[in-house]
């Protein structure tokens, strides 16, 4: 199973994922401007595009394909009923909540292992 996102979103999320924690990734979606090599804010990115990007690039054993399908089904349903937050006072909190729900579901399906902080 393979999902694709535009090259611009892919580049931006690559940068974001390397430089920020999971909770912060959605705070910096950018559109790569190929004309001047600068980034501009991208308001149109959806949580579904982010989920597609999270899955893309990772290869799972065939035994996990069913779980990935289950995650995608869950996510499409979640995204239909909980719209992506708009830019208002609850925007940041809404995006963080969406990421927490995605992370929780991935952990539940054993598709993501959370790293525990070592003291």
Q: Where are the alpha helices (DSSP H) in the chain?
A: 7-19, 22-25, 47-55, 65-81, 91-108
What is the structure's pLDDT at 102? 73
Tens of pLDDT, residues 52-79? 555 554 445 566 667 767 776 776 676 6
Statement: residue 30 has pLDDT above 70:
no
- Is the distance from CB of 30 to CB of 39 less than 8 angstroms? yes
The dihedral of CA 83, 84, 88, 94: what is its sign?
positive
The arithmetic mean of pLDDT across residues 12-35, rounded, is 46
What is the structure's pLDDT at 106? 76
Q: What are the domain boundaries of the chain?
A: 7-108
Cα distance between residue 10 and residue 15, in whole Å? 9
What is the structure's pLDDT at 109? 78
pTM score over 0.85: no
What is the structure's pLDDT at 77? 72
Residue 107: band (very low, low, confident or very high) from pLDDT cuts 50, 70, 90: confident
Residue 87: band (very low, low, confident or very high) from pLDDT cuts 50, 70, 90: low
Mean pLDDT of the chain: 57
What is the structure's pLDDT at 34? 44
């Amino acid at each position: 199973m393979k999902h694709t996102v535009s090259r611009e979103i892919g580049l931006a999320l690559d940068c974001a994922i390397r430089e920020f924690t999971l909770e912060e990734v959605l705070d910096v979606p950018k559109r790569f401007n190929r004309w001047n090599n600068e980034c501009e804010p991208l308001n149109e990115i959806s949580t579904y595009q982010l989920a597609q990007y999270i899955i893309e690039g990772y290869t799972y054993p065939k035994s996990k394909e069913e779980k990935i399908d289950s995650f995608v089904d869950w996510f499409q349903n979640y995204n239909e009923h909980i719209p992506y937050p708009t830019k208002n006072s609850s925007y940041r909190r809404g995006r963080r909540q969406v990421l927490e729900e995605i992370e929780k579901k991935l952990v539940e399906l054993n598709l993501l292992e959370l790293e525990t902080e070592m003291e």
